[in-house]
Structure 1
Amino acid sequence: MHPEILAQEGYTSAFVDDSPVRELFPGIRLRPLWRAPSGAHANVLEMDAGTSWPTRDIHDPGPEEVYVLAGTFNDGARDYPAGTFLHAPAGSWHVPSTTTGCTLFLFYPES
């Protein structure tokens, strides 16, 4: 590996196990990984088996992009296994849940 590549300005990294954990709802935890000055941000969301969002998750003001890292994620309508990518446009909504438990990578390109 070339050291000059690693030293590029603005290049950052985060190790998920070192990211602070915030419980959003019982059995649902958020680990922030990165935030840009523009408000764009990336997180890992962990959902225990049998958990669900208590209300609609509305994507406002911008879209949400989800990659299912492990387990099976349900958006309130169907199941998505590990390896699935989802793009939810601004203004859309879903009710996240999981019967098996899941880990998601979440990216919000807009604030």
Structure 2
Amino acid sequence: MHAEILDQEGYTSSFLDDAPARQLFPGIQLRTLWQGANGATAHVVQLEAGATWEGRDVHEPGPEEVYVVSGVFNDGARDYPAGTFLHAPAGSWHVPSSSTGCTLFIFYPEG
């Protein structure tokens, strides 16, 4: 049965170290893990200690879902330690930063 799962169309995997890193701002790198046909995307974002997003990160056209994999993430208002899940609805915004550094898994269900 395991082989049947792996043979299903659309079933994919990616390895973080194989995903090219793109610098968004100083100390903030994004690696895209997956892109769906409907525009959905999955990423890993790494913030170095002291890194801050430049301006507001506005969630348009759809929501953003974040899981803090390691470190402590700050949304401009409060800290979220590793193990925290955040759902930001479409139209909301925050100013991502991290005083300690952190790794985030980010999913955009809409393109």
Q: Which residue of 1 aligns with 2:101?
A: 101
Structure 1 runs of 4+ aligned residues shifted over 6 Å read: none
Q: Which residue of 1 aligns with 2:51?
A: 51
SS of 1:17's partner is helix
- Aligned residues with identical type, % of pairs: 71
Distance 1:46 1:62 in 2: 22
Aligned amino acid, residue 71 of structure 1: G
Report deviation, 1:54: 1.0
Q: Which runs of 5+ in 1 are unaligned?
A: none
Size of the aligned set, in residue pairs, is 111
Report deviation, 1:3: 1.1
* RMSD (Å) for aligned C-alpha atoms: 0.8
TM-score, with normalisation over the residues of structure 1? 0.98
Q: Which runs of 5+ in 2 are unaligned?
A: none
Distance 2:107 2:2 in 1: 28
Distance 1:25 1:79 in 2: 20
Distance 1:12 1:69 in 2: 21
Kindly report which structure 2 residues correspond to 1:3-82, keeping only aligned pairs within 5 A, or say none. 3-82=3-82
